[in-house]
Amino acid sequence: MKIKVITSNEGKMREYARSLGALGYEVCKGKVPYDEIQADTLEEVVSHGLKVLSETEDSFIIDDSGLFIDRFDGFPGVYSAYALRTLGNEGLLKLMEGVDDRRASFVCCIGCKLPGRDAFTVSAACEGHILEERRGSLGFGFDPIFTTDGERSFAELDIDEKNRISHRGLAVAALVDRLRSEEGR
């Protein structure tokens, strides 16, 4: 089956190509600009995207993700893109200076619309914490400051290693489970 990933984020695209590709899906990139709403949850943002894009596209997936820092009640969360643009990783590390509780999680919500089927969302989270300093040069976004094992940041993992444990890798597994169980019906 061919799956079109609508995203302008090359880092996400590489991860989808790898994870879905390994499961036998043919992955292509769709560039369909659309306005994302600002909402309280990733699911709301994705559900709105599904609605808007379904008017012109009949087969695609979209992804909205965020970094949720416990000590800041989940900030930047749904504001992650804005926080990365304005504060950057250095700014977030500065905000975290002297903060002992460094727990954080990445969350990924995937929206999926396939021909003749109802659209749906699946989400997954990956628990970890914020490092004291940036590490690594792979990946994208907040990868250099996030770790699950306290040793290596996401930016020190290759794509397959990251996909095995990441929010996006786990969300893809949930997506594929759902697609396969629907196919088996």
Q: Which is nearer to ligand IMP, 66 or 111 (CB)?
A: 66
Q: H or E stretch including 113?
A: strand 103-113
Residue of 35, 40, 64, 70 marked active site: 64
Q: Which is nearer to ligand IMP, 149 or 182 (CB)?
A: 149
Q: CB atoms < 10 A from the CB of 142, how many?
A: 25
Question: By CB under 6 A, is residue 9 in contact with ligand IMP?
Answer: yes
177 as an active site residue: the answer is: no
Question: By CB under 6 A, is residue 68 in contact with ligand IMP?
Answer: no
Are 142 and 76 in contact by the 8 Å Cβ rule? The answer is: no
Classify residue 45 as exposed, middle or buried by CB count within 10 Å of its CB (0-12, 13-18, 19+).
buried
Please list, in sequence order, all residues whose beta carbon lies within 8 angstroms of the beta carbon of residue 142, skipping any fewer than 6 positions away.
Answer: 67, 80, 84, 89, 92, 106, 154
Residues in 92-111 at the binding interface with ligand IMP, rule: CB under 6 A: 106
Closest distance to ligand IMP from the beta carbon of 15 (Å): 7
Question: By CB under 6 A, is residue 128 in contact with ligand IMP?
Answer: no
Chain position whose Cβ is nearest to ligand IMP? 141
Nearest to 46 by CA among 2, 1, 78, 81: 78
Closest distance to ligand IMP from the beta carbon of 160 (Å): 14
| Contacts to ligand IMP by CB under 6 A | 9, 63-66, 80-81, 84, 106, 139-143, 154, 166, 168
